[in-house]
Amino acid sequence: MHAHIAQAVAYDLWDAVAISRANRALGLKARAPWREKKYQPLSFTAKFGRWITPEGRVALSLGRGRGRIVLPPSTG
């Protein structure tokens, strides 16, 4: 990323934070600027989280109470 673009993004974020704080100080309902969420990566090991269905498809578990991902059988 070009240095001037990075600087412009940083200034825009700084302005958004300042406006959010000023609005909150005035008693307005203001949300902080959005930021990227850092999610923990999923891992499917040989003994946990994955198995082969009777139809030959790979099923990946996302945990209790959540649906699973079922992949089509490989053609290779």
Does 69 or 47 have the greater pLDDT score? 69
Predicted structure pTM score: 0.40
How far is Cα 47 from Cα 49, in angstroms, rounded to an integer? 7
pLDDT band at 73 (very low <50, low <70, confident <90, very high): confident
How far is Cα 62 from Cα 64, in angstroms, rounded to an integer? 7
The arrangement of strands across the sheet holding 58-60 comes to 50-52, 58-60, 69-71
In tens, the pLDDT along 9-51 reads 888 888 888 888 898 899 888 777 676 767 767 676 766 777 8
